[in-house]
């Protein structure tokens, strides 16, 4: 019998020392007594499992393998899904976003705005304005129950949705009145323009006019009239009586007066008092009662352009006048200057009052007889701007240095310094000067000097001034032989050809009254026998004729919106700066005998 093959069941024979064992997977050398080494490729083959054949399995494998991109993408998709659902969208947006939301409320019958209505969304509320609009602040996006309420109207509740994006349309809510409706229209008493946003308080309710100056308000039934208070910033509060009709919306027209007061002199009491009134003449009060010692011709009141301060020249006691300041914020009185002196008023330079003083107890030939001074009203500081005097021993040989015309414009004080002598030839070597200085005493200089011609003699060396326009001054100087003419403008003095003594003295020189902001001027000219009023720019140019009112003359400004005019030098009126309406009377007043022609830095001098 053939021999059996027992190879598969037989134990391997021990290897001889130094023999090499061959493995079936790879040619790996294994030393006797060691386990065969497993290669990386072999390990991979051992660990690798067959991939799933299902779609989910393949997707899962792809998702895990690309998790750097798949996880952020999944978060984004989830967020978009939540935002797409209204409930979750608003809940999420409310955590990060709040929006302002506006509504408009109108009357269901008249379809006019309902002002003063309370609009609420939960704890957030607002009140409608004169146009019926209310804006709720910082509302969370989502659906809200909004409530609308106002006295003498039925309450309303409306469901409104506040969007995450900006509001595109403003919903209109109608409210039904339970009382009688009345219409109110409010205008400016001076310029007749309608006034918006006027607050109307009546019968426990508050309403406001729209931009057209109108409001429809509801009052309790059964009334024929109702008192109301009108309020608006920049205007005096006004108490009015509203008429109520049972069968229709009664029309009520009212006016309001711009806030402010004008000050002027009055002899209504028999003495010269300082009084004030509102711009429509109401609220008259005596600020400073006269003592009875005031001079008819020597009492002057000049107001600064903003009406904050008044300079009063008056003899209230003794035999000499004094110069006073009235602060209109509290109507207090303080003394600027006094003594044995004569005061010549130049006027206001913003908050500084400029004047010259001549001490009557100092002789022509003595030093420091005259001084030019500036008084700062807010600080009450008095500054000597210039001071002059004379030389000699008496009336027969004096040589006097004196202050000539003084003009204030654009923060500058322009003035002449002149010479006079008792004897002919005493001024031969002297020069008159045209000078400038600021009201605080700074920047003082002589712009130009003027002397006699060679060989000429005169008792006076002096310059004369005429204000051509706010920024120009005509000058005349006699050099002992001839009159020579100049013009001052832009800080320089230049020759003016064509000027004659006749035109210098007899020309029409309007007084240009500067507006409080320095941007406009107001003046008058006589044309065809009528007094014609003009408003122009700060230099008195580009004049626009606003009225031909032969009975009226310029008096001043009240703010840049209103003009003050006088009639018969005893009646004070106010009108718009456009001249669009007839002037309304403020009051009668006392006009001093002194007139300050050419002075436009304040009011009351004409």
Cα separation, 303 vs 556, whole angstroms:
9
- Taking alpha carbons only, the member of 480, 526, 474 closest to residue 500 is 474
**Which parts of the chain register pLDDT below 70?**
1-53, 56, 74-96
> Which residues sit opposite 345 in a β-bridge?
355
Any residues with CB less than 8 A from the CB of 178 and at least 6 apart, and which?
152, 153, 154, 218, 221
Cα–Cα distances (Å) from 479 to 408, 424, 460, 503, 550, in that order, read 26, 14, 10, 19, 42
- Contact in structure between 305 and 328 (CB atoms under 8 Å): no
Cα separation, 557 vs 128, whole angstroms:
37
Whether the domain at 180-256 and the domain at 261-506 fall into the same CATH topology: no
What is the architecture, at CATH level 2, of domain 180-256? Sandwich (2.60)
DSSP-derived pairing of the beta strands 214-219 and 225-231: unpaired
Any residues with CB less than 8 A from the CB of 170 and at least 6 apart, and which?
102, 103, 104, 133
- Taking alpha carbons only, the member of 426, 410, 409, 427 closest to residue 418 is 427
Give me the pLDDT at residue 86, please: 58
- Contact in structure between 195 and 211 (CB atoms under 8 Å): no
Residue 332 backbone phi and psi in degrees, to 5: -80, 150
**3-class secondary-structure state, position 94:** helix
- Contact in structure between 134 and 127 (CB atoms under 8 Å): yes
- The H or E element that residue 79 is part of is helix 67-84
The residue extents of the domains of the chain are: 55-84, 95-175, 180-256, 261-506, 513-603
Compute CA 417 distance to the chain's CA centroid, rounded to the nearest angstrom.
Answer: 41
Task: List the Cα angle 195/198/204 in 5-degree steps.
Answer: 150
Cα separation, 458 vs 399, whole angstroms:
12
Fold of 95-175: Immunoglobulin-like (2.60.40)
Cα separation, 345 vs 338, whole angstroms:
13
The class level of CATH for 261-506 reads mainly beta
Cα–Cα distances (Å) from 87 to 83, 91, 101, 145, in that order, read 9, 6, 19, 16
Cα–Cα distances (Å) from 248 to 111, 201, 565, in that order, read 15, 21, 42
Give me the pLDDT at residue 81, please: 58
**Residue listed under structure tokens 């729209």:** 210
Cα separation, 95 vs 106, whole angstroms:
33
Task: List the Cα angle 502/506/509 in 5-degree steps.
Answer: 135
- The H or E element that residue 340 is part of is none
Q: Which two tokens stand for residue 207?
A: 């309403």
């Amino acid at each position: 019998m053939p021999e059996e093959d027992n190879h598969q069941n037989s134990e391997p024979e021990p290897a001889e020392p130094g023999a090499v064992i061959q493995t079936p997977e790879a040619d790996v050398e294994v030393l006797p007594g060691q386990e065969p080494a497993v290669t990386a490729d072999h390990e991979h083959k051992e660990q690798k499992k067959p991939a799933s054949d299902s779609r989910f399995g393949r997707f899962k494998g792809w998702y895990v393998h690309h998790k750097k991109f798949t996880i952020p993408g999944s978060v984004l998709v989830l967020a978009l899904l939540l935002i797409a659902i209204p409930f979750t969208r608003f809940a999420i947006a409310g955590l990060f976003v709040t929006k302002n939301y506006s509504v408009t409320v109108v009357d269901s019958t008249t379809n006019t705005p309902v002002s003063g209505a309370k609009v609420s969304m939960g704890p957030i509320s607002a009140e409608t304005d004169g146009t019926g609009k209310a804006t709720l602040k910082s509302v969370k996006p989502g659906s809200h129950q909004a409530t609308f309420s106002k006295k003498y109207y039925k309450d309303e509740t409306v469901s409104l949705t506040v969007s995450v994006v900006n509001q595109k349309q403003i919903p209109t809510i109608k409210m039904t009145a339970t009382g009688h409706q009345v219409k109110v229209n409010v205008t400016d008493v001076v310029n007749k323009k309608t006034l918006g946003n006027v607050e109307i308080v009546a019968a426990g309710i508050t309403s406001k006019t729209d931009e057209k100056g109108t409001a429809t308000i509801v009052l309790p039934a059964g009334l024929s009239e109702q008192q109301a208070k009108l309020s608006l910033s920049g205007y005096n509060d006004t108490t009015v009586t509203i008429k109520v009709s049972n069968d229709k919306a009664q029309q009520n027209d009212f006016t309001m007066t711009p806030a402010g007061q004008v000050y002027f002199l009055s002899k209504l009491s028999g003495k010269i008092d300082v009084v004030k009134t509102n711009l429509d003449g109401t609220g008259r009060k005596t600020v400073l009662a006269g003592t009875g010692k005031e001079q008819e011709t020597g009492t002057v009141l000049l107001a600064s352009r903003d009406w904050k301060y008044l300079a009063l020249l008056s003899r209230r006691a003794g035999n000499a006048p004094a110069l006073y300041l009235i602060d209109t914020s509290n109507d207090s009185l303080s003394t600027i200057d006094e003594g044995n002196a004569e005061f010549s008023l130049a006027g206001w330079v913003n908050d500084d009052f400029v004047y010259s003083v001549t001490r009557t107890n100092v002789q022509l030939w003595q030093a420091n007889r005259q001084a030019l001074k500036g008084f700062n009203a807010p600080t009450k500081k008095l500054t000597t701007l210039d001071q002059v005097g004379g030389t000699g021993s008496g009336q027969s040989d004096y040589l006097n240095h004196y202050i000539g015309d003084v003009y204030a414009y654009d923060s500058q004080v322009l003035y002449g310094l002149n010479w006079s002598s008792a004897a002919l030839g005493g001024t031969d070597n002297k020069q008159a000067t045209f000078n400038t200085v600021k009201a605080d005493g700074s920047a003082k200089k002589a712009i130009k000097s003027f002397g006699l011609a060679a060989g000429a003699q005169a008792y006076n060396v002096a310059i004369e001034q005429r204000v051509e326009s706010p920024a120009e001054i005509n000058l005349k100087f006699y050099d002992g032989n001839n009159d020579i003419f100049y013009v001052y403008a832009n800080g320089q003095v230049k020759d003016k050809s064509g000027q004659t003594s006749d035109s210098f003295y007899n020309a029409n020189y309007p007084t240009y009254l500067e507006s409080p902001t320095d941007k406009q001027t107001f003046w008058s000219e006589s044309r065809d026998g009528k007094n014609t009023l003009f408003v122009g720019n700060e230099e008195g140019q580009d004049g626009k004729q606003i009225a031909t009112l032969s009975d009226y003359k310029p008096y001043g400004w009240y703010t840049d919106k209103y003009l003050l005019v006088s009639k018969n030098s005893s009646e004070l009126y106010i009108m718009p700066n456009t001249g669009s309406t007839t002037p309304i009377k403020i009051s009668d007043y006392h006009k001093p005998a002194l007139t300050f022609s050419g002075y436009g830095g304040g009011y009351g001098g004409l």
